[in-house]
Structure 1
Amino acid sequence: MNTEADLFKSFEKDCDLYSIKVEQIPIWERIRFRTFREITRKKGQGQAHTHHGAGINSHLKGLSLWLKYSIYKNPYFADEHDFLFYGHQRRKLEEDGYWWDIYCDPIHEQNEFDYIHVESPHLMSHHNPAKTQYLRYLDPIRYTGTLQRRLGIRTPSIPTDIISRLQEAEEEIKSRFDLDIDLISKVRQSLHVRNTILPLYERLLDRINPDVVVVVVSYGKETFIEACKRLGIPVVELQHGVIYDHHFGYNYPNDENKSTFPDYILTFGEFWSKNVSFPIPGNRVKAVGYPYLEQRLKMYDDIGRSKQLLFISQGTIGDKLSQFAVKVHEDDRIDHKVVYKLHPGEYERWQKEYPWLVESDIRVIDESKPPLYQLFTDSTAQIGVGSTAVYEGLCFDLDTFVFETENTDILQPLIDKNIATSIKTIQDLNAALHSKNTKKFNREIFFKSNATQNIIDELKYIQDYGTTNRSIIQN
């Protein structure tokens, strides 16, 4: 059981945080995910992704991006399109030499939609050459908003009674988690961002006039989604990662709503659709599949394997998992070659944060080559904690082991269904490697087949419904 998550749920309920509004804007839903992430980080969980700094160099880089993309790939210069895709900025370099948005590009290449694709910068840059054909960058919006906030334009005012309630909530966090979390600053910053970029998003949507908007990762895009809802444009989210009952970007109490949640969410399979309590009706949660995975399974279908144990890392647990990997690599009882695959969010910092990996002769994958799916086909077993990649690896018939940490609950369903084996020690791993007690993985439940066509069909249906019921969606 994830103690912090359960404490957090009771904390937000006891403090009645969903009822707090500033000028009719529900503020808790905008800071909820980031607040819990800060709590877990301060409690010792690692950092999921690398973030750029906030010094003078960062500001100068932002200025240069603002100037460059005010001319090149400026979204305000785009024509009208039926679909607007707000993709994932962390692209993946594929064997064709292009950087893919792996969630959207398999759909785009079918040429079924009149679309425009927009993205935010990743670590203050954009990956090129991009696979996406009709691509625009959101840097003009992002950095125009930043400039306004630096100049103090549209600064929000928080009523004294709201400040008092937030202070009470801060005291509760201190009491329950023994941490100091500045909720007031989070609210002020979130409202300031909203005030500065909401008009910019509305102007962009007026320009493109889409029938449907598709997003990848909805949390963090609350203001963009608000702009869509104000204009009556249906918003659809494509699943991008693990969804579980302690993921506060998706799981909400049954009696609570999130006004800036997408109107629809398209999941990888029925397992994910039923795994959490989404703040939208169940008939708007559709299992469609994962196009990128389905494509790659066909591509790597007949490649040979070796006796290889693949560690699937991620920043939140990389410290403990990488230390365990080194111990496994050095233990004579384990007759498998060990490969440690870093998450892209760890590429730039692993040598500093995991010095034991640097000192070891273990094979560390810290770039996009070889592709993850190539590593799956080369391996016979995998170890992870809470990554989507572990579920993907099961599609390649890998023996799967879950390294027990405070985040094990993310993969607990696999343990409960006897699909994966939980391990704590090298002795556990050695025994599990020589056992065949796990059940066969039912891919269809987790990753529905015919994914690309399923998504196309759902988007066309939503387009038809949305154009005739825009007033309903707006309300």
Structure 2
Amino acid sequence: MMKEPTIENFLEFEKKYKCNSIKVEGMPIWSLYRYEIHNEIKKQTVGRTAEGSEPPINKKDLLTMALNALKPFNYRNVDVLFVCDGRRSKNADTGVYENIYLDEISKKFNSVILEQPENRKHSTPNGMDNVYFTDRVAFKTNLAVKLSTKFNTPKRKRYEAGVRAAFTDIFKAIKEEFGPDITDKMVDEMVDRMYYYEITKKYCGKILDKAQPKLIVELCYYLINNFAMSELGKERGIPTAEYAHGFAFPTHTPMQFNPEERISVLPDYHLTYSKSQEDEVHFPDNVKLVPVGFPFFERERDRYKAKYPREEKTIVFISALAEGEQISKMAAEVSEALGDEYRVIYKLHPKEFGYYKERFPWLANSKVEVIDNSENHMFRYLAESGTIVCTRTAALQEGIGFGCRVILLNFGDTALNLKTLIEKENIPLVDTAEEITDLIKNNKAAFVNPNGMYEPNAIENLTRFISEIMMN
């Protein structure tokens, strides 16, 4: 009997076959690609996985990255090196695109922010004088993979042979235990990831030679630059900390490991928004969890609430990559059922901006107000709304923090991930647009106490943590 690809079964498989200890050409390739491997197993079995990715690279993208890549790195002897992607939100008051996680704390230290391109782009102006675009690594890795694939170079053949030798039996065991044969697809993609990682680590090493930081802080440790920085930190004795970019869930593969694992590409610390995350996040036991809160949320909540008064008859639906089609259909149906008396907002995931008109055509023919840009932060829509309708997205906790009533959609693993919160707060879990309409009309969406969702005094907590690390 085949096993379901639950996180528990996946972790059991990893432990049984010691997957995270396997290296090819010195690279811990399973650890670098385990999220995608688990997603592929789920995709071919239960059919649910995180969708959405960057569009294929083109010549214009390469030119843009090449021009940014020409800029030299001139930062020396910084205290803190921050590493992140290029996702920024526009401040409606200043016109500046902010990194809501790192900008504020970076200003308190002698620091530099390394910013990877997001969809091959950066949002400017960013209002910062300590941001360096790392397009050089994106340019070099994409070019190297393209050329190696086109010409099937000897190096690529060597990498492929190494991956097949190390993982053929592992992928055979995956087929036997879970069902799908993912060998050829995963081998090809893991070889690509080896190119990305090798080039990225070499590049990041040169940056560390110049920057000489006392601490590396990463946003989303499983981005390729951050994998490299974590391993380089261990090799060079530089502490590394990941700052959470949202609330984690117990089925999210990158946040779940067997406790005895020792993985070189993981950070030393994981900084969370809340003590509640200790029950949801399970890193190896040598990665320390530190609750610090979320300064941006703490600072901006009152400002947005004052600027955008709540309208109880405004409902905001939060899209999710894996269920965007289902959620958007419900939003259109609810909007039609509620009529002009209510305002229905549909907040797309940023990766849906470019394709939703083709994939979700029913939105164009509805009265739903679709948010398909980052001109205003999510907080505006949470401040304006009386009710939030979503799956297990991290926006749920933000909505609760803003005092929104809550309706949860019974899609994917929402019921599993939020079981404790649903039972404790008696949050309705619905399957149909009719149920949502009834709950809204009869004022039966759940109200959860907004206090306690985030650790208080967040900026002080972060400042203290960084200062203590640098003093050691």
Per the TM superposition, whether the score is higher than 0.5 is yes
Is residue 2:119 matched to residue 1:117?
no
Deviates more, 1:395-404 or 1:321-330: 321-330
Instruction: Work out the CA distance in 1 between the residues paired with 2:259 and 2:157.
Output: 31
* Residue pair 2:88, 2:97 contacting (<8 A) in 1 also: yes
Q: Deviations over 1:128-178 (max 9, x none)?
A: 111332111111233234444536596584596863452233234334243
Deviates more, 1:290-299 or 1:8-17: 8-17
Instruction: Work out the CA distance in 1 between the residues paired with 2:283 and 2:275.
Output: 14
Is residue 2:238 matched to residue 1:242?
no
1:463 to 450, 467, 470: 470
* Residue pair 1:83, 1:213 contacting (<8 A) in 2 also: yes
2:164: which partner in 1? 163
Report the Cα offset of residue 53 of structure 1: 0.6
2:88 to 87, 91, 95: 91
Instruction: Work out the CA distance in 2 between the residues paired with 1:101 and 1:87.
Output: 9
Report the Cα offset of residue 41 of structure 1: 4.3
1:348: which partner in 2? 354
* Residue pair 1:88, 1:101 contacting (<8 A) in 2 also: no
Instruction: Work out the CA distance in 2 between the residues paired with 1:63 and 1:366.
Output: 26
Percent pairwise identity: 23
Instruction: Work out the CA distance in 1 between the residues paired with 2:323 and 2:89.
Output: 22
Distance 1:335 1:41, change over 3 A: farther
Q: Which amino acid aligns with 1:259?
A: S
Deviates more, 1:244-253 or 1:433-442: 433-442
1:185: which partner in 2? 188
Is residue 2:329 matched to residue 1:323?
yes
2:139: which partner in 1? 143
Deviates more, 1:217-226 or 1:259-268: 217-226
Instruction: Work out the CA distance in 1 between the residues paired with 2:455 and 2:135.
Output: 35
The 3-state SS of whatever aligns with 1:249 is helix
Q: Deviations over 1:349-368 (max 9, x none)?
A: 11011111122222211122
Is residue 2:58 matched to residue 1:52?
no
1:266: which partner in 2? 271
- The aligned runs of 1:11-410 (5 Å cut-off) are 11-42=13-44, 43-45=46-48, 48-54=51-57, 58-66=58-66, 68-72=67-71, 74=72, 76-95=73-92, 96-108=94-106, 111-149=107-145, 150=147, 152=153, 155=156, 157=158, 163-175=164-176, 176-181=178-183, 182-220=185-223, 221-281=226-286, 284-302=288-306, 303-306=308-311, 307-332=313-338, 336-408=342-414, 409-410=416-417
Report the Cα offset of residue 454 of structure 1: 0.9
Distance 1:88 1:177, change over 3 A: same
Distance 1:464 1:431, change over 3 A: same
Report the Cα offset of residue 442 of structure 1: 5.1
1:412: which partner in 2? 419
Instruction: Work out the CA distance in 1 between the residues paired with 2:286 and 2:446.
Output: 35
The 3-state SS of whatever aligns with 2:254 is coil
Distance 1:204 1:280, change over 3 A: farther
* Residue pair 2:219, 2:245 contacting (<8 A) in 1 also: yes
Distance 1:333 1:263, change over 3 A: same
Q: Which amino acid aligns with 2:34?
A: R
What CA RMSD, in Å, does the superposition of the two structures yield over aligned residues? 2.7
Instruction: Work out the CA distance in 2 between the residues paired with 1:309 and 1:429.
Output: 10
The 3-state SS of whatever aligns with 1:295 is helix
Deviates more, 1:384-393 or 1:405-414: 405-414
Give 5+ residue unaligned stretches, structure 1.
466-475
Instruction: Work out the CA distance in 2 between the residues paired with 1:231 and 1:156.
Output: 31
Q: Which amino acid aligns with 1:119?
A: E
Instruction: Work out the CA distance in 2 between the residues paired with 1:142 and 1:25.
Output: 19
Report the Cα offset of residue 253 of structure 1: 1.5
* Residue pair 2:409, 2:429 contacting (<8 A) in 1 also: yes
Q: Which amino acid aligns with 1:222?
A: F
Instruction: Work out the CA distance in 2 between the residues paired with 1:105 and 1:144.
Output: 27
Q: Which amino acid aligns with 2:329?
A: Q
Report the Cα offset of residue 84 of structure 1: 0.8
Instruction: Work out the CA distance in 1 between the residues paired with 2:64 and 2:345.
Output: 39
Report the Cα offset of residue 24 of structure 1: 5.0
Deviates more, 1:333-342 or 1:392-401: 333-342
Distance 1:27 1:319, change over 3 A: same
* Residue pair 1:315, 1:346 contacting (<8 A) in 2 also: yes
Deviates more, 1:215-224 or 1:369-378: 369-378
Report the Cα offset of residue 293 of structure 1: 0.8
Q: Which amino acid aligns with 1:413?
A: T
Instruction: Work out the CA distance in 2 between the residues paired with 1:190 and 1:50.
Output: 15
Instruction: Work out the CA distance in 2 between the residues paired with 1:419 and 1:336.
Output: 25
Report the Cα offset of residue 419 of structure 1: 5.6
Instruction: Work out the CA distance in 2 between the residues paired with 1:257 and 1:191.
Output: 20
Give 5+ residue unaligned stretches, structure 2.
none
* Residue pair 1:419, 1:441 contacting (<8 A) in 2 also: no
Report the Cα offset of residue 4 of structure 1: 4.4
Q: Deviations over 1:339-384 (max 9, x none)?
A: 1111111111110111111222222111224432121121111110
* Residue pair 2:406, 2:447 contacting (<8 A) in 1 also: no
2:454: which partner in 1? 447
Distance 1:154 1:167, change over 3 A: closer
* Residue pair 1:305, 1:377 contacting (<8 A) in 2 also: yes
The 3-state SS of whatever aligns with 1:77 is coil
Q: Which amino acid aligns with 2:69?
A: S
* Residue pair 1:84, 1:115 contacting (<8 A) in 2 also: yes
Instruction: Work out the CA distance in 1 between the residues paired with 2:433 and 2:182.
Output: 37
Matched residue pairs, number?
A: 455
Deviates more, 1:357-366 or 1:35-44: 35-44
Instruction: Work out the CA distance in 2 between the residues paired with 1:411 and 1:388.
Output: 11
* Residue pair 1:400, 1:419 contacting (<8 A) in 2 also: no
Distance 1:332 1:458, change over 3 A: closer
The 3-state SS of whatever aligns with 2:305 is coil
Q: Which amino acid aligns with 1:410?
A: N
Instruction: Work out the CA distance in 2 between the residues paired with 1:357 and 1:40.
Output: 28
Report the Cα offset of residue 436 of structure 1: 5.2
Instruction: Work out the CA distance in 1 between the residues paired with 2:154 and 2:161.
Output: 21
Instruction: Work out the CA distance in 1 between the residues paired with 2:410 and 2:159.
Output: 43
2:430: which partner in 1? 423
